[in-house]
C-alpha cells in the first residue's frame, strides 16, 4: 500500500479547514466556520442540504459572481446546460482548491493553481510568478469572490503558496 501525493502551487488565499482550523475571521470561539446565507455547516463538512463546502462555494460563486441560476435537469445535456455552466465558471475566474487529503480537507481560494501529480515534473520560471498584470486581475477576482462568500481571510493579501494533497 502506497501513498499518492500531489503538489499544488496556488495564487490566492489559504482558507484552512475544519480539522486544522479555518483561516478566516468568520469562525466561532472553537474555530468552526459560522453559518452563512449560502452554507449552514452541520459539523461533518456538509450543510443541511448535504452539499460539501466545495459544492456550496461553487454554487454561491456561480450565482453571485456569474449570475448563473440554472439547475441541472435530466435533459441538461440536450439543452446546452453544461456549455452555459462552463462559460459561467470562466467568468468567476477563481476556484476552491482542496489540499491536505480527501478525508481531512483544507481549502484555498485560488485565482491560479498548478497541480503536479506524483512522479511528474512541472517547470516553473520564478519570473512568471512575479508578472504583475495577471495578478492584478486575479486580485480583483479574488476580492469579488470573497465578497460574494462573505469571508475575510486572516491572510493579509493574496500570495503564492505551495500545498500538498495526498491519499493513502
pLDDT digits (tens, 9 = 90+) for 72-82: 887 766 788 88
- Band the pLDDT of 115: cuts 50, 70, 90: very high
Angle at which helices 53-64 and 132-149 cross, to 10°? 100
> For residue 134, what are the domain limits?
4-167
Question: What pTM does this model have?
Answer: 0.87
Beta bridge partner(s), residue 100:
105, 165
66 φ, ψ to 5°? -100, -10
Q: What sign for the dihedral angle of Cα 156, 162, 167, 168? A: negative
Q: What is the three-state SS of 16-62?
A: EECCCEECECCECCCCCECCECCECECCCCEECCCCEHHHHHHHHHH
| Number of domains within the chain | 1
- Band the pLDDT of 1: cuts 50, 70, 90: very low
- Band the pLDDT of 129: cuts 50, 70, 90: confident
- Mean pLDDT (the chain) is 87
Amino acid at each position: 500500500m502506497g501513498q499518492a501525493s500531489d503538489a499544488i502551487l496556488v495564487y490566492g488565499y489559504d482558507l484552512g479547514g475544519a480539522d486544522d482550523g479555518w483561516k478566516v475571521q468568520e469562525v466561532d470561539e472553537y474555530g468552526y466556520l459560522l453559518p452563512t446565507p449560502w452554507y449552514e455547516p452541520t459539523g461533518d463538512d456538509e450543510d443541511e442540504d448535504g452539499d460539501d463546502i466545495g459544492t456550496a462555494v461553487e454554487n454561491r460563486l456561480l450565482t453571485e459572481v456569474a449570475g448563473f441560476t440554472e439547475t441541472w435537469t435530466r435533459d441538461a445535456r440536450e439543452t446546452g446546460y453544461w456549455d452555459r455552466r462552463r462559460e459561467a465558471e470562466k467568468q468567476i475566474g477563481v476556484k476552491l482548491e482542496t489540499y491536505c487529503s480527501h478525508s481531512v480537507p483544507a481549502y484555498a481560494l485560488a485565482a491560479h493553481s498548478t497541480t503536479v501529480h506524483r512522479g511528474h515534473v512541472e517547470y516553473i520560471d520564478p519570473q512568471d510568478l512575479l508578472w504583475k498584470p495577471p495578478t492584478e486581475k486575479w486580485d480583483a477576482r479574488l476580492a469579488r469572490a470573497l465578497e460574494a462568500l462573505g469571508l475575510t481571510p486572516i491572510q493579509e493579501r493574496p500570495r503564492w503558496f505551495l500545498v500538498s494533497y495526498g491519499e493513502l
